[in-house]
Structure 1
Amino acid sequence: MLPEDHGLASAGDGREVVLSVRDVTVAFGDNVVLDQLSLDVYRGEILGFVGASGTGKSVLLRTVLGLIPKRAGEVSMFGVNLDEADDRQKMLVDMRVGVLFQHGALFSALTVKENIQVPMREYLDMPKALMDELAMLKLELVGLPPSAADKYPSELSGGMIKRAALARALALDPDIVFLDEPTSGLDPIGAADFDELVAKLRDTMGLTVYMVTHDLDSLFSVCDRIAVLGGKKVLVEGTIEHMMQVEEPWVKSYFRGKRARQLDLTTRSASA
């Protein structure tokens, strides 16, 4: 932990709140996308954040990261109110955050190794040889071969792009990683492998994971808790077992529709 950590809030059951969103409102002109939304993310969990297309899932993620301004509300990370933090505090928080944007968002003119080193160059002052060594360690961590280091994004498959982007997100050994549709565009086997990797990294590195996803397989297999966005707020949150009992129409259709029932039966059979 960085020395600038403030006292973290705790849930009623004692879990530490790593990310706290309170009464956040985001609008573009007269179009209010999020209206007094509140959400907590707890240390060490994999939170799946879902909702219908266009409801504002990625808008909230970008607002939390400071990429989109909010009209009202408060965002705190590691006990630091980001609106009240000075530049040094914000930098220290940023160094504890990793982000995998949708489609990877790798820099096309940089090799995989150079992409992984971007956060190191931005925040750290270290010799090139050490950065090279660390980049190769991150490649190994996400299951990419050493030969991928000198390839450009255009030379990678979709699954390799996701893993390279995840390696970049892990460059500074963050405490929390934000994943925006991490399995979109992957075949079912590749998506399952990526989910397994995320769960393994959470367990071995003690990560907290905030995952925006539409992938029911991910929600059933790796997410500890799910938050559903609807009506510009968090409509409901809880475990997958709780979601299977919710009677709200969209939630019921999403989690108990034909495909979801098949997934549930498959998951239960596999674990039996």
Structure 2
Amino acid sequence: MPQQDGTIEHLNGGPPGDDVVLSVRDVTVAFGNKKILKKLSLDVRRGEILGFVGASGAGKSVLLRTVLGLNRKQSGTIKLFGVDLDKASERERLRLDTRYGVLFQQGALFSALTVQENVQVPMREYLDLPKKLMDELAQIKIELVGLPRDAGAKFPSELSGGMIKRAALARALALDPDLIFLDEPTSGLDPIGAAEFDELISKLRDTLGLTVYMVTHDLDSLFSVCDRIAVLGDKRVLVEGTVKDMLASEEPWVKSYFRGKRARQLDLAARH
């Protein structure tokens, strides 16, 4: 909740550990007569990087958008930091909104704003800060994600794909959140750029104490940075666990995805 001095009043975060930051229980989502998710349940634990994977069109982004309140659910319960979103007061929702950041697919930067102005959007919405302080804070976030100092003055059209992803991540970190949602963060990046972005996410998790919910189809990301993986299929979570659990699973889609030809080299690396 914004205070008079412009700081953010957080809910009690609690110590790192296995406590649940996001709890999804029996959630059903439908568009018209077509059910996309049916009685889906999932937990995201404090301090972990959770990879959420599934076939194209299975509903990975639908669940993310439902958690964010952009899609309506038919039934079920979603709790964020222990607060039932259906029962939260306006004040509680405002406080929760400052505790998470989102990196949407393709970055979703405002094309008419500079990188610095994009990063400042959450600050302007939730805080009351002098322009000079916002400029300083935005610059800190820009450098935190590995962008050069002069990137703040550039427009999205002047950035490479990798720089757009980093600028969008800087915006997601604008309010010093506890939880960040990443929707296909390495999509469209070359292998080197994707690996560098994965490394950045891992370092930020460790240094800032973040919890990361990552929707991805990138096997390298799943193998290299995710503590746990949840697999979406048949409108629910089929399997969840570590990479080793995925490699041991006999679920047909999971077996094909994690032990197929494209995964063979990663499979061998994980076993040694």
The answer on whether the counterparts of 2:53 and 2:231 sit within 8 Å (CA) in structure 1 is yes
Match of 1:85 among 72, 83, 88: 88
Deviations 1:58-108 (A, max 9, x none): 000000000101000010011110100011100100000100000000000
SS in 2 for 1:255: helix
Q: Map 1:57-206 to 2 at 5 A.
A: 57-206=60-209
Q: CA separation in 2, counterparts of 1:201 and 1:67? A: 26
Ranges in structure 1 where 5+ consecutive residues have no aligned partner: none
**Match 1:220 to one of 217, 220, 223:** 223
Distance 2:113 2:65 in 1: 24
| Deviation for aligned residue 1:263 | 1.6
| In structure 2, distance between residues paired with 1:211 and 1:231 | 20
1:15 shift after superposition = 1.2
Which of 24, 35, 52 is the matching residue for 1:21? 24
Aligned residue type for 2:91 = R
> How many angstroms does 1:266 deviate by?
4.0
Match of 2:34 among 18, 31, 34: 31
Deviations, residues 119-143 of structure 1 (Å, cap 9, x unaligned):
0000000000000000000011000
Aligned match of 1:244: 247
Shift in Å at residue 258 of structure 1? 1.2
Residue 7 of structure 1, CA deviation? 8.6
CA RMSD of the aligned region, Å? 1.7
| SS of the residue 1:211 aligns to | strand
1:232 matched residue in structure 2: 235
Q: Report what 1:51 is aligned to.
A: 54
- The letter of the residue matching 2:80 is M
> Matched residue of 1:83: which SS?
coil
**3-state SS in 2 of match to 1:229:** strand
- Partners in 2 of 1:70 and 1:5 — Cα distance? 27
Q: How many residues end up aligned between the 2 structures?
A: 265
Report if the CA contact (8 A) 1:41-1:47 is conserved. Answer: yes
Residue aligned with 1:143, SS = coil
Code of the aligned partner of 1:73: G
CA distance in 1, matches of 2:31, 2:236: 16
Cα shift at 1:217: 0.1
Distance in structure 2 (CA, Å) of the matches to 1:152 and 1:263? 37
So what's the TM-score if we normalise by structure 1?
A: 0.94
Query: In structure 2, what is the Cα distance between the partners aligned to 1:268 and 1:34?
Result: 33
Preserved contact between residue 19 and residue 76 of structure 1 (Cα < 8 Å): yes
Structure 2 counterpart of 1:96, one-letter code: R
- 1:2-49 deviation per Cα after TM superposition (whole angstroms, max 9, x unaligned): 5544999x9xxx710000001100000100000010000000000000
> Is the contact between residue 6 and residue 80 of structure 1 (CA under 8 Å) also seen in structure 2?
no
Q: State the identity as a percent.
A: 75
How far the C-alpha of 1:262 sits from its partner, in A, is 1.1
Q: CA–CA distance in 2 between the matches of 1:76 and 1:139?
A: 31
Matches within 5 A, 1:261-272: 261-266=264-269
**Structure 2: tracts of 5 or more residues without a match:** 1-7
Give SS of 2:39's match. Answer: strand
Q: 1:170 to 1:3 in 2, by over 3 A?
A: closer
Please say if residues 6 and 79 of structure 1, whose CA atoms lie closer than 8 Å, have aligned partners that are also in contact: no
Classify the secondary structure of the residue corresponding to 1:258. Answer: coil
Q: Distance in 2 between matches of 1:69 and 1:56?
A: 14
